[in-house]
Amino acid sequence: MVPDVAPYDALLLVSFGGPEGPEDVVPFLENVTRGRGIPRERLEEVGEHYFRFGGRSPINDQNRALLAALREDLHGAGIDIPVYWGNRNWDPLLTDAVREMAKDGVTRAACFLTSAYSSYSSCRQYRENLFDAVEVVEAAPRLDRLRQYFNHPGFIEPVVDATLAALADLPERVREGAQLVFVTHSIPESMNERSGRTGGAYVQQHRSAMAEVVERVRQETGRRNPHALVYCSRSGPPQVPWLEPDVNAHLEDLAAQGAAGAVLIPIGFVSDHMEVIYDLDTEALATARKLDLPAVRAATPGVDPRFVAMIRDLLVERAATERGEDPRRTALGSLQAWWDLCGAGCCPNPQDVHRPALGGVE
């Protein structure tokens, strides 16, 4: 039986974007930091992360691979709708994607965000950008954001298998005592405190996902490895408190405590974009080598078939809800499946400047 995705006649992949060459790096970073008063010198310093990799972020190629896998998955399930792609910060931009959908006669599209968690920067800001795109495009389709999926089996299960594979890559003598180091993007403490409907959702969601992965790894290995949630990619002024500990500081602490080894698990990321290949593969693993601490990095979900099928599942689930049905909402761990519509005041703009956003009840 072919899944029913009515009332949707398109799917939009919404991502962050990244430079495609050296000449794009600083303009891209200017887009990302617009309105935050960050001097060009600092942008050029951050740009060195990209220049080390030829001035090209891996994220766009990863999105192209995800698009191809998603189209194949939908086709295999008998779902005949077009899939579009738009970025917040670089080509193809969201406005161009919405304009293309309008030209093609799309009336209502479901939007999948390549960010699994709740906070201003990982959810609300995307919703604001979706509103901005619709506002400037004549006859723009209605856009509905699909729910957060940090606890969906299609996200959790690939992380579990990647963790098991990484553990197996460690020397046998250190596997049993190796710490599972779950890494995500740091955000200001105040942003976490205001994330979700009642606050603290960003950290709460990560801890729930981490606990589920740890338990499933235990079921497979027969042991519960020590574990911790840590952060990377802090970018704010030093006087503003951000979530800690930093992954490098945590590795130093592990070495000082005599830890056997570590597995870096990028639980906050769906693919190997810049924060993964620079902050973890380059900086954090270099820190581990300096400390003589055996360490490996687990893979992200990427185009794992279960992750791709999850997107189809979220689309079918939301479509059924919009038709007035009561579909099964799959979730693992201590938290229930997240809501479809964000509440009033959910993950507010840090500047307390009201900007309208799609996908909420406000």
pLDDT score for 47: 78
Backbone angles phi, psi at 72, to 5 degrees: -65, -40
87 with 175, same domain: the answer is no
140 with 187, same domain: the answer is no
143 with 158, same domain: the answer is no
pLDDT score for 256: 98
56 with 144, same domain: the answer is yes
On whether the pTM is more than 0.75, the answer is yes
Give the CATH number for residue 169: 3.40.50.1400
- What is the domain range of residue 49? 10-149+303-322
Percentage of the chain lying above the pLDDT 90 cut? 82
Q: How far apart are CA 295 and CA 316, in angstroms?
A: 40
How does pLDDT run across 155-172, given as a tens digit for each residue? 999 999 999 999 999 999
pLDDT score for 26: 82
210 with 283, same domain: the answer is yes
> How many distinct structural domains can be found in the chain?
2
139 with 182, same domain: the answer is no
Tokens 């729910």, residue?
147
With vertex at residue 61, the alpha carbon angle to CA 143 and CA 38, rounded to the nearest 5 degrees, is 75
325: Cβ contacts below 8 Å, ≥ 6 apart: none
Q: Tell whether the torsion through CA atoms of 69, 75, 77 and 83 is positive or negative.
A: positive
